[in-house]
């Protein structure tokens, strides 16, 4: 079942944090991203994939913790909800543990770009940090996410997403495909 939570986790993140993050990520060389983009078509700058409609998908997960206050706290809160706090998943270091919720990536959109219908292969949570996004689920229900809101999507839940102006969000996935308590 899709579960939206209003004002689940608020943050002090600003658009200035976003600009500094994108700038610092653009200075990091990423040969794997370069090869993938050149083979598939598209654009990139350093460690940032740039898709149509000014939609950015920075590849650096680790640096998210140092640029965006509140991310580590949210991961700790989510994992604590499933009684799993024995790992460093919420710290600014690599983690190879079996914690339930891990950072997948950050998404920055400066337009009303719509992601087509798709379904994730694992349980996922999206945290709306800045701006507003709309989520249509199973071609039936639409949810509006505002800053601080999260939405939980079980494995294989079909959905599409679009923004209302510029927006920033964080994707967190559950590689163990468990559920929220």
More confident residue, 103 or 43: 43
Mean pLDDT of 76-82: 73
Please tell me the predicted confidence (pLDDT) of residue 53. 63
Q: Are 154 and 2 in contact (CB under 8 A)?
A: yes
| Count of other CB atoms within 10 angstroms of residue 7 | 10
132-180: per-residue pLDDT in tens? 999 999 999 999 999 999 999 999 999 999 988 999 998 888 766 444 4
CA-CA-CA-CA dihedral for 39, 44, 48, 52, to nearest 10: -90
Counting beta carbons within 10 angstroms of the beta carbon of residue 181, is it exposed (0 to 12), middle (13 to 18) or buried (19 or more)? exposed
Cα within 13 Å of Cα(142), Cβ side: 7
88-131: per-residue pLDDT in tens? 555 555 555 555 777 777 888 888 778 889 998 888 999 999 99
Please tell me the distance from the alpha carbon of residue 31 to that of residue 39, in angstroms, as a whole number: 12
Please tell me the distance from the alpha carbon of residue 46 to that of residue 44, in angstroms, as a whole number: 6
Q: Name the pTM for this structure.
A: 0.81
Mean pLDDT of 3-22: 91
**Domain 3-86+97-174 is classified in which CATH homologous superfamily?**
Jelly Rolls (2.60.120.10)
Question: What ranges do the domains of the chain cover?
Answer: 3-86+97-174
Please tell me the predicted confidence (pLDDT) of residue 109. 87
Please tell me the predicted confidence (pLDDT) of residue 142. 97
Please tell me the predicted confidence (pLDDT) of residue 66. 74
Confidence label for 42 from pLDDT (cuts 50, 70 and 90): confident
Please tell me the predicted confidence (pLDDT) of residue 62. 64
Buried b (16+ CB within 10 A) or exposed e, 32-48: ebeeebeeeeeebbbbb
């Amino acid at each position: 079942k899709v579960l939206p939570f209003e004002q689940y986790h608020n943050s002090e993140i600003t658009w200035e944090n976003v600009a500094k993050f994108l700038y610092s990520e653009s200075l990091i060389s990423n040969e794997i991203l370069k090869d993938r983009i050149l083979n598939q078509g598209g654009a990139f700058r350093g460690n940032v994939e740039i898709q149509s409609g000014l939609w950015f998908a920075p590849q650096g997960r680790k640096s998210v913790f140092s640029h965006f206050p509140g991310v580590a706290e949210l991961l700790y809160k989510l994992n604590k909800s499933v009684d799993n706090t024995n790992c460093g998943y919420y710290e600014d270091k690599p983690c190879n543990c079996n914690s339930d919720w891990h950072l997948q990536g950050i998404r920055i959109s400066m337009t009303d770009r719509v992601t087509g219908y798709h379904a994730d292969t694992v349980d996922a949570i999206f945290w709306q940090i800045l701006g507003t996004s709309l989520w249509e689920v199973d071609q039936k229900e639409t949810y509006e996410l505002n800053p601080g809101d999260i939405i939980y999507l079980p494995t294989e839940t079909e959905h599409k997403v679009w923004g209302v102006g510029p927006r920033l969000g964080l994707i967190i996935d559950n590689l163990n495909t468990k559920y929220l308590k």
